[in-house]
Structure 1
Amino acid sequence: MDRFQRLTPLLKSFMEKGPAGCACTVVKNGEVLYEESFGYADLANHKKIGADTIYRIYSMSKVVTCAAALMLYEKGLYLLNDPVEAYLPEFKDISVYSYNELGSRTVASASGSIRIKDLFTMSSGLTYGGELTETERQTRTLMQNAVSTMDMRALSKALATVPLAFEPGTHWKYGTSHDVLAALIEVLSGESFGEFLRKEIFEPLQMVDTSFRIAEEKRDRLCLMYDRAEDGKLTLNTNMDAPYQPGCSYESGGGGLLSTIGDYSRFAQALARGGELAGARILSPKTIQLMGTNHLGPQQLKDFNWTQMSGYGYGLGVRVMMDPAAGGINGSIGEFGWAGLAGSWVLIDPLEQLSVVYMQQMLPSLEPYIHPRMRAVIYGALK
């Protein structure tokens, strides 16, 4: 029996716990080792997931954004240690919140600039919206109407007005850094972010169904999103699709792309094979090696303490496997990738020239349960 067929009962067991459907593709050295889909893209109408199903990949967009930015790095248009303000002047006079031992909050000018590297590594002090800090609360308010009113340059300028959560480069905090990176790409390339991706990545890699908008003729291929209750009951979620509609100018580098499993597998396999696929090269092997190297210091690694990230550091926009023993991981040191809000996941292993792409559409995603189990089975199947 093909050892990769162990994935089939595992994927079917995931659906018992949550997603209406899922799909997985494993490619090594350009050869498809496993390619299956199960369940439904539309539960009510019993419409099955297929090879052409389109998914909201959310934060898996970040890997594409960082690859795109590194393409401009390879052209010498910036250096990683350059201050962001040299290209995005809105970040010239940034401020930062600080708290004393009693929790009293003050705001002052930041002691240093945000470096472009800090955008890649989520060490800028920018956050997502939330409740824990004043930066998160202000960002939440700012983002409430961003999708309907802003493009990426406008978003960058708005984010620059919010005091940072910490001094740049001192901590790790998941946030809007890669949205600002998209604005940087626009300034350096002279094109909209979506147009740059189309010309430089999607067309060369033949990613024909990857975009920020859902075209009318493809709308029936979009997988439905479901909310999962504690008892496992699924409820249709239609509240998060505004960014994908025609006319929207919001092209989030942090989470805005739609893609198919085949398209994203081509992108992932290109990175796994040193930046080239079928004659199209998007990055060099050395730059991918830099991308997949841990860039966090000791304090930042303490901040990067998500349950499913044991054994990992963080590179230029990707988790990076560093310590197999700490994570209980049977994979390669240097394996990298990321996941999306609704449970999509990519694994890229240059040592094995291996790429894995998994797709589902469910909130919460059960990521800490699903993804490590897939990784264990896949590496266990390699010869």
Structure 2
Amino acid sequence: MADLRDTLETHVSKGLLPGAVGLVARGDRIEVEAVGSVDVEGTAPMGRDSIFRIASITKPIVAAAVMMLVEEGRIALDDPVEQWLPELASPSVVRTPAAPVDDVVPAVRPITVFHLLGSRAGYGFPSDFSLPAVAPLLSELKQGPPQPQSVPAPDAWMAALSRIPLLHQPGDGWLYNISSDLQGVLIARVTGRPLPEFLAERLFEPLGMADTAFVVPADKLDRFTAYYRTGPEGGPELVDAADGQWSSPPAFPSGAGGLVSTAHDWLAFGRMLLAEGTAAGRRMLTPASVRQMTANHLSPSERRSAGLFLDGMGWGFGGAVDVEIVEPWNVPGRYGWVGGTGTTAHITPSTGTVTIMLSQLEMGGPSFPALMRDFWRYAAERRP
């Protein structure tokens, strides 16, 4: 059986991406490898403490922050969000998912905190990106691959969202991404504090996640990786350099995918979830909240409608939950997600395992890249 270094090196050596970091932890045993370099120029070798744009594995972190507010009684799962997000007080809904954006009906129920946490608010991406109501999500809200310096500030972003119809009625189905951005805005408005400030005080500092933020300061840029997509010749094509879009604070800190982090930082978060909300002797969340986060809340029909997004998986709060064994790495109850910048992080409560792989190559669609699949296969083979 190939070891972790070989698993990563197989892909890096082909020139498809400059480097990667992989981590598999079970209890006190941590296996971590860093291969390749931080960029295609080989400016510096990849390190275990290299910093990556983690994209959508931001989502579980932001969902955990929302659950903190629920536990404090500042919001409730069944609360309509319009009291904090008045832009969503009277949303319209396209008559059918394929209808033009001006063929709408009123929403029959309010959008609730529960709808946001479960990505069932009615806003977001379906399996068919060609639907008319999807286009303004990309053009006006800058959804898609993260581009933090292009997204307007939260109030302007919310105003734009209020002019876009929902794809379906609140609570009637799962759609990807926007609910997590709305969670970030919700946290800021409920607390009266910027999202980065709240996350730093309530999660990152207590958990020792020293390199997790929405911006990379100048004294850490030497550890920050460049970000690529696959170019026309098949090799990596630069999207964002280390001193690019994440070198200054964004106007819109994206709860759906704006964070940078390291493998060891996300490990601290994952271990907190495995310990049912406790870290370093401190209670961050109750066991009930963690179980609610990491449980599947989707019906079989909702999972089927998600298509490739959720093959064999359901959805909890901020992350997917394995419900079927379709591949060797699927374990019922495994919770986590992937990031469009080439990242993946999961916890498996039944084995006490945290698995994290961070790379720099943008995913080309909802199907999982070969590197991720090989990493998951390796992690599954390491199970006790």
Partner of 2:247: 245
Q: Matched residues in 2 for 1:148 and 1:28: separation?
A: 39
Query: Which residue in the other structure is 1:332 paired with?
Result: 331
Structure-1 separation of matches of 2:24 and 2:134: 37
Q: Specify the code of the residue in structure 1 equivalent to 2:351.
A: E
- Alignment partner of 1:347 is 2:346: yes
User: What letter matches 2:135 in structure 1?
Assistant: R
Change (3 A) 1:247 1:229: closer
For 2:226 and 2:244, locate their aligned partners in 1 and report how far apart those are by CA, in whole Å: 14
Q: What are the ranges of 5 or more consecutive residues in structure 2 without an aligned counterpart?
A: none
After superposition, where does 1:183-198 map in structure 2 within 5 Å? 183-198=185-200
Q: CA deviation at 1:331?
A: 4.8
Please give the alpha-carbon distance, in whole angstroms, between the structure 1 residues aligned to 2:150 and 2:352: 40
Whether the 8 Å contact between 2:4 and 2:33 is mirrored in structure 1 is no
Deviation of the 1:235 alpha carbon:
2.1
* Distance (Å, rounded) in 1 between the aligned partners of 2:303 and 2:131: 20
Q: Normalised by the size of structure 2, how large is the TM-score?
A: 0.90
Q: Which residue of 1 aligns with 2:182?
A: 180
- Alpha-carbon shift at residue 241 of structure 1 (Å): 7.7
Determine if contact 2:294/2:319 at 8 Å carries over to the other structure: yes
Query: Which structure 2 residues correspond to residues 227-306 of structure 1 after superposition, within 5 A?
Result: 227-229=229-231, 232-238=234-240, 243-306=245-308
Q: Partner letter of residue 98 of structure 1?
A: R
**SS of residue paired to 2:108:** coil
Is 2:86 the partner of 1:89? yes
CA shift, 1:373, in A, is 2.9
Q: Deviations over 1:133-181 (max 9, x none)?
A: 2322222231259844633343233312211111111122213111111
What amino acid sits opposite 1:22 in the alignment?
Answer: A
Counterpart of 1:47 in 2: which secondary structure? coil
Q: Is the 8 A contact 1:223 1:361 kept in 2?
A: yes
Question: Under a length normalisation based on structure 1, what TM-score does the superposition of the two structures give?
Answer: 0.90
Distance 1:98 1:78, change over 3 A: same
What is the rounded CA distance, in whole Å, between the counterparts of 1:103 and 1:154 in structure 2?
A: 24
Q: Which runs of 5+ in 1 are unaligned?
A: none
- Cα separation, 1, equivalents of 2:219 and 2:5: 32
Secondary structure of 1:367's counterpart equals: coil
Q: Percent identity?
A: 28
CA RMSD of aligned residues (A): 2.6
State which of 109, 125, 129 in structure 2 corresponds to 1:112. 109
Distance across 1 between alignment mates of 2:257 and 2:299: 26
In structure 2, give the amino acid aligned to 1:319: A
Helix, strand or coil: the match of 2:321? strand
Q: Which residue of 2 aligns with 1:25?
A: 23
Residue number in structure 2 paired with 1:135: 133
Q: Any conservation in 1 of the 2:221–2:242 contact (CA below 8 Å)?
A: no
- AA aligned to 1:196 is F
**Which residue identity is paired with 1:345?**
T
SS of the equivalent of 2:121 reads: coil
Please name the residue that 1:77 is paired with: 74
Question: Aligned pairs, how many?
Answer: 376
SS at match of 1:203: helix
1:310 is matched with 311
Query: In structure 2, what residue type is equivalent to 1:258?
Result: V
The separation in 1 between residues aligned to 2:362 and 2:246, in whole angstroms, is: 18
Match of residue 360 from structure 2? 361
